[in-house]
Homo-oligomer: A and B are copies of this chain.
Amino acid sequence: MTDLYGFQEKLFALQHAAELLFYDGVTVAPKESSENRARTLGIISEEIYKLKTSPEALAMLEAAKPENKEEERMIELLLKDYRNMQKLPMEEYIAYQRLLVKADDVWRRAKDASDFKLFEPVLKEIFDTHIRFAAYINPEKDVYDYWLNEYEDGLDMSICDEFFEKLKAEIVPLIKLTRERPAPGADCLKGDFPESGQRELALWLMELIGLDMGHVGLGTTEHPFTTSLGSHLDERITTHYYRDNFSYSMFSVIHEGGHALYDTNCKDEYAFTVLDQGVSMGIHESQSRFYENILGRSLEFTKYYYGKLIEIFPQLSKYSAEELWRAVNRVEPSLIRTEADEVTYSLHVMIRYEIERAVLHGELAVGDIPQKWNELYKEYLGIDVPDDKNGCLQDSHWSGGNIGYFPSYALGSAYGAQFLARMKESVAVEKALSDGDFAPINAWNREHIWQHGHLYKPGELLERVLGAKFDPSYYINYLKEKCRAVYGF
C-alpha cells in the first residue's frame, strides 16, 4: 500500500480496465464474446474488491492526515466505500459483476426479439442481488431508500413521492391543455437520414457545445450513454442512429454531451481520485437534460443549428426553423422515454419508479413487470404498449444494474430549470444560443458546478449554486412557459 494518491491511482487503473471491458462489449465487440469478457471482468473485479477491502487500505485511510478539504472528502468517500464493500461477500460481488456482462448481452437479444421472457431470469437475479446487497450493507434502511440514496445522496421515497405528486398535479392538466390545441406537425422529423449524415451532425454538435474533441469519443450502441475511462481525460459518449429519424440521435448526442461537459471540465488535478466524478446522478442529469432540452430545444438554438441541419439534409429545407422547433417540442404521450417531450417525460420516470419500488418490496414479481408496465402506460399516458421492445425492454438501466437511477432524470430536469433562473442573473442565455456561442453558458457551469467534481454533496452544491433550497416550482413554471410558447395559449 502506498499513500492516498497511489491507492486511488491503482483503483482507477483497475476501474479503467473494467469500464473499458464494458464499453468494448456494448460498442464493437463480436456478439458471442461476452463470456470471455465476463471471465476477465470477474478477475478484475476480484482485484478491485481486494484492493478496496484490504486491511492496509483501511489502516492507510484511518491514519491519513488530510491537508485540505479535498483530501478530507476523498477519505470520507473512500471510507464509506470500504465499509460498504467489506460487508459484501467477495464471491457475491464478483458473481454480480460477471452477471452484468451477461445481462447486457441477454437484454440486447431479448430486446431484438421483443421477448421479455428471455430477459426475465437475469433481471430477477439483478433485482434479487439489489435486495441482498442492500440488506448486507444497511439492513435497517428500506431497500429502495438505500438504492435511491446511492444515486442521489440524501434522496429517499418520501422526497420522491412529494416531488412526483407535485409534478403530476401540474403536468396532467398541462397535457390536457395542449391536447385541446392543434398538435404541431412532426413530419419534418421523419424521412431518410443516412447514418453518415447523422454522424457528421453529431460531431458538429459536440464541437459546437464546447466538448474538447481530443478527449471525447463518439461510439454507437443500442442505448446511448456516457462513461469516463480511467479519468475525465478519456470520455466516451454513445448514440444510436435510426435511419428514419434524425432527431433521436441528435438530441441523445446533446444529452450525453451535457454529461461529458460535466465530466471533462472537472479540475485536472482531481483525475485519478474519487473527486473525479459528478456530485450525484441527479446533478449529472441536470446537466445532460439542461443541454438537451433547455438549450437544445430552445427556439434560439433551433434557429442557429437549422443552417447546418439543412446543409446535411437538404430535404428539410422545405420546413422552417420554427416548424422544426415546434415539432421537437410537441407534447404527445409516447412509448419511449428518451424520445419523450419535456412535459410527459417525468411520467415515464414515475412509471419506472413505481415498478422498481414494487419489485424491491416484494409486491410485484419480475415476471409481472411487462403487464404492470403496460397498465401504467395506459393509466399515466393513456397509450397502449404494443410489445416489450417498446415497453419494459427499452432502457438499458436494469441490465446495467442501475436500479434506483431513474428518479435522477426527473430531479435533474427540475434542478436544471432552477439553475437556468440563477444563470440568467449573470449570463445572456438567449443571446448566446442565438449566436451558437456556448462559451458564457459553459463558463458559468464550469465555475459553479463542473470544476468541483465530487467535492460537495448534492444539497451542499445546490445551496452554493442557488443560494436557496431546491424548489420544483421553477421547473413547473418552465414547462408551462414552454407550452405557452409552443401552443400559443
Q: Interface of A with B (CB < 8 Å)?
A: 9-10, 12-14, 16-17, 20-21, 23-24, 27-33, 35-37, 39-40, 42-44, 47, 196, 212-217, 219, 229-231, 233-236, 271-272
With a 10 A CB-CB cut-off, give which of A16, A214, A215, A235 has the most chain B CB atoms.
A16
Alpha-carbon distance A300/B329, docked complex (angstroms): 59
Of all chain B residues, the one with the shortest Cβ separation from A219 is: B28
- A235 to B13, alpha carbons, bound, how many Å? 24
Task: Please judge, given known A-B contacts A20-B24, A27-B28, A47-B47, whether A215 and B10 are in contact too, CB under 8 Å.
Answer: no
For A29, give its contact among B33, B213, B217 (CB under 8 Å).
B217
Instruction: Please state if B28 and A40 are interface contacts (CB–CB under 8 Å).
Output: no
Q: List the B residue with the shortest CB-CB distance to A15.
A: B40
Report the nearest B residue to A32, measured CB to CB: B214
Q: Which residues of B contact A9 (CB under 8 A)?
A: 39, 43
The reply to whether B17 and A235 form a contact with Cβ atoms under 8 Å apart is no
Assess whether B30 is in contact with A216, with CB atoms less than 8 Å apart. yes
Closest chain B residue, CB of each to CB of A231: B36
Q: Closest CB of chain B to A101's CB: distance in Å? A: 12
Q: A27-B28, A28-B219 are in contact. Are A17 and B33 (CB under 8 A)?
A: no
Contact A44 B17 (CB under 8 A): yes
Bound together, the chains give a CA A39 to CA B5 distance in angstroms of 13
Task: For the complex formed, measure the closest distance between the CB of A424 and the CB atoms of chain B, giving whole angstroms.
Answer: 33
Give the contacting residue for A16; candidates B14, B40, B219; CB below 8 A. Answer: B40
Q: How many angstroms from the CA of A39 to the CA of B29 in the assembled complex?
A: 24
A411 to chain B, nearest CB (A): 30
Q: How far is the CA of A30 from the CA of B216 in the complex (A)?
A: 6
A30 is contacted by which of B17, B37, B213 (Cβ under 8 Å)? B213
A434 smallest CB distance to B (angstroms) = 30
CB<8 Å pairs between A and B, sample of 11: A9-B39, A16-B21, A16-B40, A17-B40, A24-B24, A27-B28, A28-B28, A31-B214, A36-B229, A36-B230, A36-B233
CA distance A235 to B33 in the complex (A): 9
Partner of A37, one of B43, B196, B213, B234: B234
Give me 17 other A-B pairs in contact (C-beta within 8 A), A9-B39, A36-B271 excluded: A9-B43, A10-B43, A13-B44, A14-B43, A16-B36, A20-B24, A23-B24, A24-B229, A28-B217, A30-B215, A31-B213, A32-B215, A33-B229, A33-B233, A33-B234, A37-B234, A40-B230
Contacts known (A27-B28, A47-B47, A217-B30); A35 close to B233, Cβ less than 8 A: yes
B21 touches A17 (CB 8 A): yes
A40 interface neighbour in B13, B42, B213, B217, Cβ under 8 Å:
B13
The 4 nearest A-B residue pairs measured at CB = A32-B214, A13-B43, A33-B234, A17-B17
Which residues of chain B are near A235, meaning CB under 8 Å? 30
Distance in angstroms between the alpha carbons of A33 and B28 in the assembled complex: 19
Q: Choose from B21, B39, B216, B217 the contact partner of A20 (Cβ within 8 Å).
A: B21
A224 to chain B, nearest CB (A): 16
In the complex, what residues of B have CB within 8 A of residue A213's CB?
A: 30-31
